[in-house]
Structure 1
Amino acid sequence: MRASWSGTIQFGLVALPIRLYAATREHAVRLHEIHIPDGSRVEHRRFCQAENKEISYEETGRGFAMPDGRMVPLTEEDLSHLPLPTRKTVDVLGFVPGQDIDPISYGKPYYAGPNGPGAERPYALLVEALARTGYVAVAKVALRSRERLALLRPRHGLLVLQTLLWADELRDPGDLAPSAPVTDRELQLAEVLIRELTGIDVEAVHDEYAHALEQLVTAKVSGGELAAEPAESAPVVDLMAALEESVRAAARTRENR
């Protein structure tokens, strides 16, 4: 894999050189924008407002907007001199139990690999120490032109650096939580159903969107009939009856495996 960032994990007086590698690769199906009357592709072009003309990629840069409206151009050379310690350092702020980090704040994961033979022993030490204690390291690091909060956690003998959202980037859900009461019997049945449905092979679950889209496109091109939409589940009228039948169905499925 190609490294996207190199620097040093700094915790206490220990400096651990690492490289970061993208840990995920999404397989999204992309739909293109078209001009509806003739079905042709729509292009997005770079346009200069001051000169009222289209410009090339080579003429495009980045800038910071001042409160008075002025735009301050910033080059890659300028950005490389940011007075930011975390630009080349994963600055470990401390360690906390892994369960204390709410997964809602998880961002993008990276594999962190040791950079050079001298990094292997402190790397192995940190991985093993985190695995034994169940703790994760909370750190700051500058990636992709911005400073991010991150955590370091062990996974299969490797370190994973997982970016985190800042606290003020998490939205307050307001009053979305329901206030309807539930009975003890309903809770007991729900717990039984959860136990009956425990265990799933995540690797055996596949994204069916691409296949459904292919069927739709084939039908459109050939003039055939479009597949019927799946029926929408009806709202539960009798919660107890639905729970009891769900438990029986889950038990039958488990017996037939």
Structure 2
Amino acid sequence: MRAIWKGAIAFGLVNVPVKVYSATEDHDISLHQVHNADGGRIRYQRRCEVCSQVIDYSDIEKAYEEDGKTVVLSKDELKAIPAENSHEIEVVQFVPSEQLEPMMFEKSYYLEPDSKSPKAYVLLRRALEDTDRVAIVQFALREKTRLGALRIKDDVLVLQSLLWPDEVREANFPSLDVSIKISPQERDMSAALVESMAADFDPDHFTDDYQVQLRHLIEAKLEQGDALDTDETFGVEAGEGGKGEVIDLMEALKRSLDRKRGGASGAAAGGSGAGAAESGDEEETAKPARKRATAGKATASKSADAKTTTKSTATKSTAAKATGTKTSAAKTSTAKSTAAKSTAKSTADKASSKPAAKTAAGKATGTRARKPA
């Protein structure tokens, strides 16, 4: 890491020299703009609106405009502001950490001792530990006077810049003033859902899926070129969005609880065909008619589907009957002949495309020939 600023913490009459480092970094993949016709980089020029010339950074100053008047402020004039020249992090208060509004947190910085003897640094850290408080500080960084909070993380002092109170917007939403009635059942069920999802926060359990998939896309493009099938790369599910279905709140809470609790109970109830069918219908389509279906109806439906499906299904059915015939043949040769003719007749009825001129004996022979397959 590279220090971005050097200064000192003013802790009463104690002076703590420190180096300041950015504690966070952006992990997003950096993309730039190109011309889609030839891939050329798109760059922006600092062009003056008056003379139309491209201006170097050294010739650019800052300005403020109000009521049609422009006030130009040079770099030297900005540096002359007293607060800008201050390299002191002044401790002004020690407050309980719970009094800090998280919305005010802006950016975090690590503070490293910048002296041969870090005793003053350790003393301030111990003081924060012993009192269980956070130091409120004021400092200037990058042409801005800032408010900050000084706290401890892993034995290191961390400076968190805070937004000023007038930088936090007030939430004023008239829709929240409408009286909403929440039933006790809805509150109990929502509380149960919260408890079912309760856990200790571990940031390592979470990943930035978009950046992972973006990296995947880039690597696939490098290997396969422009002719890339994104559905094949990410899977069909990647392009599927929510259907925006409006459902009953209680029903949604019930489904959410069932989904959370259904991991173990669903596995235990996996042997029940009717229960599995009801769970699947309630989860995917939420149709009450299917929920009331019995195991007998499901079996009848499967049997009807088997008779009316494709030719390969009919062939499997024929093979199953032929197997039954083979088992019966072990008892009497007469039963074997009768079962074979019955199977041939059933096959002839289902496969209407076969010529009617074939004899029953020929069909039976054909059936036997298909048994090994």
TM normalised by structure 1 equals 0.84
Q: 1:243 aligns with which of 247, 253, 261?
A: 253
Partners of 1:115 and 1:30 in 2: CA distance: 33
Alignment of 1:153-192 (within 5 A): 153-175=151-173, 178=176, 179=178, 180-192=180-192
Q: Deviations over 1:49-100 (max 9, x none)?
A: 332211234x33332336463443422x544432128721111121111111
Partners of 2:130 and 2:243 in 1: CA distance: 45
Q: Give SS of 2:251's match.
A: helix
Partners of 1:122 and 1:243 in 2: CA distance: 55
Q: CA RMSD in A?
A: 2.8
Partners of 1:29 and 1:249 in 2: CA distance: 35
Partners of 1:254 and 1:87 in 2: CA distance: 62
Could you say which residue in structure 2 is the equivalent of 1:209? 210
**Structure 1: which 5+ residue stretches go unaligned?**
none
Q: 1:85 to 1:26 in 2, by over 3 A?
A: closer
Partners of 2:62 and 2:133 in 1: CA distance: 40
Partners of 1:80 and 1:96 in 2: CA distance: 32
Q: Is the 8 A contact 2:111 2:156 kept in 1?
A: yes
Q: Is the 8 A contact 1:138 1:151 kept in 2?
A: yes
Query: Kindly, what percent of the aligned residue pairs are identical?
Result: 30
Could you say which residue in structure 2 is the equivalent of 1:224? 229
Could you say which residue in structure 2 is the equivalent of 1:146? 144
The structural deviation recorded for 1:252 is 4.8
Partners of 1:15 and 1:101 in 2: CA distance: 25
| Higher strand residue share | 1
**Which one scores higher on RCO, CA 8 angstroms, separation ≥ 6?**
1
Partners of 2:230 and 2:15 in 1: CA distance: 64
Q: Is the 8 A contact 1:61 1:73 kept in 2?
A: no
Q: 1:55 to 1:232 in 2, by over 3 A?
A: same
Partners of 2:207 and 2:174 in 1: CA distance: 31
The structural deviation recorded for 1:153 is 1.0
Q: 1:97 to 1:177 in 2, by over 3 A?
A: farther
Could you say which residue in structure 2 is the equivalent of 1:82? 81
**Structure 2: which 5+ residue stretches go unaligned?**
268-373
Q: Is the 8 A contact 2:84 2:145 kept in 1?
A: no
Q: Is the 8 A contact 1:7 1:90 kept in 2?
A: yes
Amino acid at match of 2:205: A
How many residues are matched?
253
Amino acid at match of 2:226: V
Could you say which residue in structure 2 is the equivalent of 1:24? 24
Q: Is the 8 A contact 1:151 1:164 kept in 2?
A: yes
Q: Is the 8 A contact 1:196 1:254 kept in 2?
A: no
| Higher helix residue share | 2
The structural deviation recorded for 1:189 is 2.3
Higher CA-based Rg = 2
Partners of 1:85 and 1:95 in 2: CA distance: 24
Q: Give SS of 1:246's match.
A: helix
